[in-house]
């Protein structure tokens, strides 16, 4: 137990006196534990630098041979320094900063770091050759479970916590910049500054916690240059700097993923950046030298010792042997000497070499090229570089190997990807900085040129850019492997001997050898190993490195946690205006697409009986509803539906069946004619969004000659079906409509007042097979009408019923459900709806195939089916078999409460569709039971008597204490409700003081008007698509679609706005529809509004792209949403509106972000 | 992620659009024989190279657009409104 951390820190054996560029704060001391023992560190120390200062050399055991491993690179890539921190596995120990109280432990050791059982693998190491596990444990197969149990103990990796409740938060957001710079070394910094000076918005991403790259651990002169650069960076306010972050991937159109670690309050954040230009200034990664013993703790790269000494004040050893082939190695020699380390320098440029590293468990000496042996505890190599071209390869480049510089160089790049720094070529600091400056300016020019389109995919070009200064290339010896074999992949324990063996076995290309040996497939993903692997394959096959090629660099460049990828979860949910009622009345929810619907409130059979004997009401809001306006609506309907539409009278409703052009049933529903040129079309609940696109496709691409305006109204109305013999009686109490059979017959539609609510559309149809009325009421009043019906009908025995009861009722009646009783092969003729087909129509969608099917008489037939044994209810999808082979299937089946027996719909071959035929149904348990084909689809009331008023059986439940009275409707004052609920004032006042607020504006009037994109209406409104402006009356006119506008005014002004529009002195057919109930609307105001939205939508929200007065539609949290930039009292402000049913979900997402950003500093 | 330059809205992420398949012409249903009709229904050229496609700006202006795209590079060669003649480039 450390009682005095300061005293303990002062006597760490390997801590050097203060260094000029060090990152540690020597004034403060913190403690943490390593494998249970307490250690001391200064803030700024990495886990390994703190431990190395204390003399710890071994941080892990290797993957296969369990060899002790220590510091190799002292950077994020350090393969032997992966540790467990608390519940978090696979933490990079040479990158992660020590935090007070951190519990760090070695991972994948058994039983301990010092005594690992798997060390025995080393003794048999020469038998554990490439592919050993594949070859050895494959036979006999029956023993695999036993092998697996033991091998699991050998497997790599840390311990994943059992729960997800680890307190770690993740985030995801979008960003838009002109220039994205990957790499915050001197080249990246200079390029970023130059691009910013040229007027570009810039994001600079650096993997280390501080900017500067190699300058950070450089000389005093280099540190001075770094300070100048940092000052220049600070002067520019158009550069967003992300440190401890990585550009992990580059995709088409410069769409880049950036992983940010250590963001305040977050564990990791994924930023999706759309960049006009990408500058890759990733620098170079130092390459290990492959010789015997090159993995012993105490063998380090020259950059590792420079980092340890200069950044953390850690002496890496006492006696060092350095093999240097470049200036970086020479600088390491100087650093070591300055740190008081005895140094023996071998110069590879003059023939110096190290043949092997000697020692057991740690470096004890080396054998030099001339055979001499020197004792030492530190071996440093500076033998060359790997060019991390990952982002360039992702941009379509195939870098080429240049033997003169012994590394890969960029070759072909699209215009919007540029390279700066050592990745591009060689030179002194000034030369590379001048080049980077030119790159930054060119990138800014390309990203901000007037016709630049961000996100464009550009062709790859080979020509060198004339605008950039040419960089020279400096000779570098090609030092990959020495005279002995050693480790190539330190994470996967692959040696150069393994690669040779793989080549001999026939895996003679880098891609094959990689997969066979798993070299380059470990946590460092080839950044340390690829070039050595390729060089070894090239040497073993005798072809050059250039010819051998390289393995493919794929995203991500750096690991991303699954938490960050999952980030913020967007799972839209749609609810009807009555959902709160359903929830408080015990409805079992049914998830149907995005909709949450009541499946049942109690026993569905009881609900069925209530509908058959009295009256029930069901919430059918998800039914797709479309307003059709225009002279060509009948022609459109004739085209879309297989049946006839020309003679539909005003006030009539007709059932229609839609097919695709291959004759397969697509959708069904009823359409009513409300006025001369005005229809309301309904679709199935699940088909609503698809049918919207389907209709628009026909209107926009195939039949632009048809003059029809289609407006989706699905959630503008709350839809309630009132069904049962007493439905007419119930409805008559709350409506002004005459419900007598003469005035309002079956398949008729009326518009009137229900429960005091005007403009309700009521149609008399019968999906349940009972007398029923489907009410479409303006959605804000949905809950009011629902509650009024239940109150008014209490004495009639009215009860709500759910989707399950409706499914039973419609099956009893034999009404098919598209997608349940039809599938992707069911043509209209097979759905027993052949009677609807009007094959003599000149054209309709699907006609040719249906004509040919009709002629051939082919296909199956949908029939009603009843098991002979009434208690049997064959599961849906049970097969209909003849002598063991499948000929048909059950599509729907339920126990019928009305008939007290099993009933089904089934597809059978035409030959078996004759009524009375007995078929064999094979159940899931393989029993076969007999069932009889019925005369018709309907099991209950095939004649349809119950749909007719007065012919229904007399009511048996609910004592009628009050006579129906059409003159005295039961009506309370209608209440219009918003679809969204914002937090109660206490929670909200906190948000009010913060810098973004949400206000519910759902009750505002929203009038939709449709005309021609560039016609007289457009001219009269004076607002173009994508723009918004207030008219003299204060109405906000928004160009929401080409040729469609949404006018937003105060509550209750719909009629006023409509009248004004219709009175416009223009010669144009326009459609005006009040969408006030259809849209949920909020205002998001405050300086954080942009930050909040940038987490939810991929649109560029900067003033340059979306200034005040912009109106656009996009996806916000996966919901299609209209965004209007409408600054308010000089403050940044957005109006957002979406279809009503998604409003509650969308506002929930917005509110969460507003709260998250309420207590964060600006 | 590629962007599609919507002729109405400007460039937007492809995730805002729904793919409508290769643009084809519907044969005259009165005269088409089964072979022609089924070629229209089911046969796609699926070339490695330029192809003409229909897309719907589902999460935007709700307009259909015709896009010439190179499937090997994802380069957008041209985009036009369905009503535009084929030679129009926007």
The pLDDT score that the predictor gives to residue A949 is 64
Closest-CA distance, B47 to chain A, in angstroms, reads: 18
Cross-chain Cβ contact A696/B62 below 8 Å = yes
Query: Do residues A613 and A725 make contact, with C-beta atoms less than 8 angstroms apart?
Result: yes
- Say if A698 is an interface residue toward chain B (CB within 8 Å): no
Q: Which residues of B touch A274 (CB under 8 A)?
A: 3
Angle, CA A870 vertex, CA A868 and CA A873 arms, to 5°: 95
Evaluate the omega torsion of the peptide bond into residue A111 and state whether it is cis, within 30 degrees of 0: yes
Q: Which residues of B touch A700 (CB under 8 A)?
A: 63-64, 82
Size of interface A-B (CB pairs under 8 A): 95
Q: Which residues of B touch A701 (CB under 8 A)?
A: 54, 64, 82
The pLDDT score that the predictor gives to residue B23 is 86
The pLDDT score that the predictor gives to residue A426 is 95
Phi, psi for A126 (deg, rounded to 5): -75, -10
User: What helix, strand, coil percent values describe chain A, rounded to 5?
Assistant: 25, 30, 45
DSSP A908: E
Q: Which residues of A touch B3 (CB under 8 A)?
A: 253, 274, 453-456
Element (H, E) at A347: strand A342-347
Nearest CB to A255: which of B1, B20, B29?
B1
Phi, psi for A1078 (deg, rounded to 5): -85, -20
Q: Tell me the ipTM for this assembly.
A: 0.97
The pLDDT score that the predictor gives to residue A462 is 56
Cα distance between residue A317 and residue A342, in whole Å: 9
Cα distance between residue A92 and residue A1000, in whole Å: 47
| Per-residue model confidence as pLDDT tens digits over A742-762 | 899 999 999 999 999 999 999
| Per-residue model confidence as pLDDT tens digits over A190-234 | 999 999 999 999 999 999 999 999 999 999 999 999 999 999 998
Cross-chain Cβ contact A457/B82 below 8 Å = no
Query: Do residues A388 and A290 make contact, with C-beta atoms less than 8 angstroms apart?
Result: no
The CB-based long-range contact list for A757-765 (8 Å cut-off, 24+ gap) reads: A757/A781, A757/A784, A757/A785, A757/A974, A760/A735, A760/A785, A761/A672, A761/A674, A761/A680, A761/A717, A762/A731, A762/A735, A762/A737, A763/A653, A763/A670, A763/A672, A764/A653, A765/A653, A765/A655, A765/A670
Query: Do residues A261 and A324 make contact, with C-beta atoms less than 8 angstroms apart?
Result: no
Q: Which residues of B touch A848 (CB under 8 A)?
A: 29, 32, 34, 37
Q: Which residues of A touch B42 (CB under 8 A)?
A: 662
Q: Which residues of B touch A704 (CB under 8 A)?
A: 82-83
> C-alpha B42: how far from its chain's center?
16
Cα distance between residue A690 and residue B28, in whole Å: 25
Closest among A653, A587, A600, A591 to A622, alpha carbons compared: A591
Nearest CB to A457: which of B2, B29, B56?
B2
- Say if A1108 is an interface residue toward chain B (CB within 8 Å): no
Q: Mark out chain B residues that contact chain A at CB-CB < 8 A.
A: 1-3, 5, 8-9, 11-13, 15-16, 18, 20, 26, 29-30, 32, 34, 37, 40-42, 54, 56, 58-64, 73-76, 82-83
Burial pattern A841-860, b for ≥16 Cβ within 10 A else e, equals: beebbbbbbbbebbeeeebb
Instruction: Please give the average pLDDT of every successive group of 10 residues along chain A, which has 1162 residues.
Output: 83 94 95 96 97 95 86 95 91 95 86 66 57 65 71 67 76 95 98 96 96 96 96 91 96 95 88 96 96 96 98 97 96 97 96 95 95 97 95 92 94 92 95 96 89 70 68 92 95 92 92 91 87 93 86 87 85 96 97 95 96 97 97 96 92 95 95 97 94 96 95 97 96 94 93 96 93 97 97 96 97 94 89 80 92 84 95 96 94 96 95 94 95 95 82 40 47 88 62 74 97 95 96 95 97 95 94 97 94 95 93 97 94 96 96 83 46
The pLDDT score that the predictor gives to residue A643 is 92
Cα distance between residue A411 and residue A443, in whole Å: 18
Closest among A57, A313, A273, A280 to A175, alpha carbons compared: A273
> C-alpha A15: how far from its chain's center?
47
Considering only alpha carbons, which residue of chain B is nearest residue A250?
Answer: B1
Cross-chain Cβ contact A459/B16 below 8 Å = no
The CA-based dihedral angle spanning residues A62, A66, A72, A78, taken in that order and rounded to the nearest 10 degrees: 20
Cα distance between residue A1071 and residue A1077, in whole Å: 17
| Per-residue model confidence as pLDDT tens digits over B37-56 | 999 999 999 999 999 999 99
Query: Do residues A405 and A159 make contact, with C-beta atoms less than 8 angstroms apart?
Result: no
The DSSP bridge pattern shows strands A997-1000 and A1079-1085 to be antiparallel
The two three-digit tokens of residue A954, written as one number: 């007399």
Closest among A184, A817, A872, A131 to A516, alpha carbons compared: A131
The two three-digit tokens of residue A471, written as one number: 């960089």
The two three-digit tokens of residue B22, written as one number: 């290769």
Phi, psi for A384 (deg, rounded to 5): 140, -175
Please identify among residues 1030-1069 of chain A the ones whose CB lies closer than 8 Å to any CB of chain B. Answer: 1041-1042
- Say if A132 is an interface residue toward chain B (CB within 8 Å): no
pLDDT tops 80 at residue B88: no
Handedness of CA A1095, A1099, A1102, A1106 (dihedral sign): negative
Q: How far apart are the first and last CA of chain B?
A: 21
The SS3 assignment for A177 reads strand
Mutate to test the interface with A, among B3, B50, B68, B84 (most CBs of A within 10 A): B3
Query: Do residues A484 and A515 make contact, with C-beta atoms less than 8 angstroms apart?
Result: no
């Amino acid at each position: 137990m450390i009682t005095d951390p300061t005293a303990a820190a002062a006597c760490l054996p390997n801590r050097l006196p203060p260094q000029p560029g060090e990152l540690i704060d020597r004034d403060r001391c913190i403690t943490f534990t390593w494998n249970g023992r307490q250690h001391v560190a200064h803030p700024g120390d990495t886990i390994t630098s703190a431990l190395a200062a204390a003399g710890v050399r071994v941080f892990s055991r290797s993957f296969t041979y369990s060899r002790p491993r220590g510091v190799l690179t002292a950077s994020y890539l350090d393969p032997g320094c992966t540790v467990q921190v608390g519940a978090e596995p696979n933490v990079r120990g040479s990158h992660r900063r020590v935090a007070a109280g951190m519990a760090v432990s070695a991972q994948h050791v058994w039983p301990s770091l010092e005594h690992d059982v798997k060390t025995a693998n080393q003794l048999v190491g020469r038998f554990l050759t490439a592919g050993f596990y594949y070859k050895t444990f494959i036979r006999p197969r029956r023993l695999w479970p036993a092998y697996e149990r033991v091998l699991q103990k050998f497997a790599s990796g840390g311990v994943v916590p059992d729960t997800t409740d680890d307190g770690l938060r993740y985030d995801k957001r979008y960003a838009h910049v002109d220039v994205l710079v990957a790499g915050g070394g001197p080249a990246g910094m200079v390029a970023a500054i130059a691009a910013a000076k040229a007027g570009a918005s810039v994001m600079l991403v650096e993997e280390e916690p501080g900017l500067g790259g190699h300058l950070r651990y450089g000389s005093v002169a280099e540190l001075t240059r770094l300070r100048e650069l940092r000052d220049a960076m600070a002067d520019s306010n158009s550069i967003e700097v992300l440190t401890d972050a990585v550009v992990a991937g580059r995709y088409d159109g410069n769409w880049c993923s950036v992983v940010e670690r250590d963001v305040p309050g977050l564990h990791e954040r994924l930023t999706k950046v759309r960049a006009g230009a990408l500058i890759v200034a990733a620098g170079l990664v130092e390459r290990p030298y492959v010789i015997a013993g090159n993995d012993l703790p105490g063998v380090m790269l020259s950059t590792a010792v420079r980092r340890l000494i200069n950044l953390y004040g850690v002496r890496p050893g006492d006696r060092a042997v350095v093999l240097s082939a470049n200036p970086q190695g020479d600088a390491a020699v100087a650093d070591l000497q300055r740190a008081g380390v005895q140094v023996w320098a071998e110069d590879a440029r003059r023939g110096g070499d190290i043949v092997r590293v000697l020692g057991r468990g740690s470096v004890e000496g080396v054998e030099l090229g001339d055979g001499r042996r020197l004792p030492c505890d530190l071996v440093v190599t500076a033998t060359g570089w790997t060019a991390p071209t990952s982002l360039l390869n992702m941009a379509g480049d195939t870098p080429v190997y240049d033997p003169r510089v012994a590394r890969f160089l960029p070759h072909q790049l699209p215009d919007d990807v540029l390279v700066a720094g050592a990745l591009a070529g060689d030179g002194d600091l000034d030369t590379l900085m001048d080049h980077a400056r030119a790159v930054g300016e060119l990138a800014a020019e390309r990203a901000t040129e007037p016709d630049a389109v961000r996100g464009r995919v550009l062709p790859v070009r080979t020509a060198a850019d004339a605008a950039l200064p040419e960089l020279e290339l400096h000779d570098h010896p090609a030092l990959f492997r020495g005279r002995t074999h050693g480790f190539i992949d330190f994470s996967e324990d692959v040696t150069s001997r393994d690669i040779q063996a793989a080549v001999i076995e026939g895996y003679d290309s880098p891609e094959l050898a990689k997969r066979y040996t798993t070299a380059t497939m470990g946590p460092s993903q080839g950044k340390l190993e690829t070039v050595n692997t390729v060089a070894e394959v090239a040497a073993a096959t005798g072809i050059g490195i250039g010819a051998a090629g390289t393995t493919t660099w794929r995203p991500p460049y750096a690991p991303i946690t699954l938490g960050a990828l999952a980030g913020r979860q967007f799972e839209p949910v749609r609810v009807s205006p009555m959902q709160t009622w359903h929830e408080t009345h015990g409805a079992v929810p049914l998830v149907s697409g995005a909709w949450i619907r009541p499946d049942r409130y109690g026993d569905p059979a009881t609900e069925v009986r209530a509908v058959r004997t009295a009256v029930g009401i069901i919430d059918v809001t998800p039914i797709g509803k479309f307003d059709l306006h225009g002279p060509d609506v009948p022609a459109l309907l004739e085209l879309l539906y297989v049946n006839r539409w020309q003679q539909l009278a005003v006030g009539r409703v007709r059932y229609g069946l839609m097919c695709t052009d291959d004759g397969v049933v697509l959708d069904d529903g009823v359409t009513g004619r409300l006025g001369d040129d005005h229809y309301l079309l309904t679709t199935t609940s699940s088909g609503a969004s698809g049918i919207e696109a389907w209709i628009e496709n026909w209107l926009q691409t195939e039949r632009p000659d048809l003059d029809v305006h289609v407006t989706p109204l699905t959630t503008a109305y709350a839809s309630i079906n009132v069904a049962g013999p007493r439905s007419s009686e119930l409805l008559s109490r709350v409506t002004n409509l005459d419900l007598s059979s003469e005035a309002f017959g079956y398949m008729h539609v009326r518009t009137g007042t229900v429960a005091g609510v005007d403009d309700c559309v009521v149609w008399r149809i019968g999906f349940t097979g009972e007398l029923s009325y489907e009410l479409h009421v303006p959605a804000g009043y949905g809950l009011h009408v629902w509650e009024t019906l239940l109150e008014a009908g209490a004495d009639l025995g009215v009860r709500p019923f759910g989707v399950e009861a409706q499914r039973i009722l419609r099956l009893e009646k034999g009404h098919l459900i598209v997608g349940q009783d039809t599938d992707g092969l069911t043509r209209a003729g097979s759905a027993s709806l052949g009677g609807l087909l009007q094959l003599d129509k000149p054209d309709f969608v699907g006609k040719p195939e249906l004509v040919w099917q009709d002629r051939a008489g082919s296909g199956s037939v949908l029939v009603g089916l009843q098991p002979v044994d009434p208690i049997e209810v064959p599961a849906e999808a049970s097969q209909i078999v003849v002598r063991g082979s499948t000929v048909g299937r059950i599509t729907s089946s339920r126990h019928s409460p009305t008939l007290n027996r099993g009933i089904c719909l089934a597809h059978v071959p035409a030959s078996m569709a004759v009524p009375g035929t007995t078929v064999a149904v094979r159940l899931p348990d393989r029993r076969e039971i007999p069932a009889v084909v019925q005369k018709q689809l309907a099991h209950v009331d095939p004649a349809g008597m119950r749909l007719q008023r007065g012919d229904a059986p007399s009511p048996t439940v609910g004592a009628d204490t009050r006579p129906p009275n059409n003159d005295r409707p039961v009506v309370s004052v209608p209440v219009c409700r918003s679809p969204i609920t914002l937090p109660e004032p206490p929670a909200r006042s906190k948000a009010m003081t913060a810098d973004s607020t949400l206000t519910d504006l759902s009750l505002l009037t929203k009038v939709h008007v449709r005309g021609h994109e560039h016609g007289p209406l457009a001219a009269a409104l004076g607002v173009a698509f994508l723009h918004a402006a207030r008219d003299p009356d204060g109405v906000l006119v928004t160009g929401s679609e080409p040729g469609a506008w949404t006018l937003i005014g105060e509550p209750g002004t719909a009629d006023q706005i409509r009248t004004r529009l219709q009175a416009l002195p223009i010669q144009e057919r326009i459609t005006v529809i009040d969408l006030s109930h259809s849209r949920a609307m909020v205002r998001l105001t405050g300086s954080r509004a942009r930050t909040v939205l940038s987490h939810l939508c991929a649109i560029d929200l900067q003033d340059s792209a979306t200034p005040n007065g912009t109106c656009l539609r996009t996806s916000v949290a996966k919901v299609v949403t209209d965004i209007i930039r409408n600054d308010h009292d000089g403050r940044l402000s957005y109006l957002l509106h979406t279809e009503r049913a998604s409003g509650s979900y969308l506002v929930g997402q917005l509110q969460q972000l507003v709260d998250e950003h309420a207590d964060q500093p600006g | 992620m590629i962007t599609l330059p919507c002729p109405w809205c400007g460039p937007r992420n492809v995730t805002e659009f729904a793919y409508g398949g290769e643009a084809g012409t519907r044969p005259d249903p009165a005269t088409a024989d089964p072979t022609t009709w089924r070629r229209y229904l089911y046969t796609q050229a699926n070339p490695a190279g330029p192809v003409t496609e229909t897309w719907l700006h589902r999460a935007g202006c709700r307009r259909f657009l015709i896009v010439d795209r190179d499937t090997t590079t994802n380069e957008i060669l041209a985009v036009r409104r369905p009503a535009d003649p084929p030679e129009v480039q926007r």
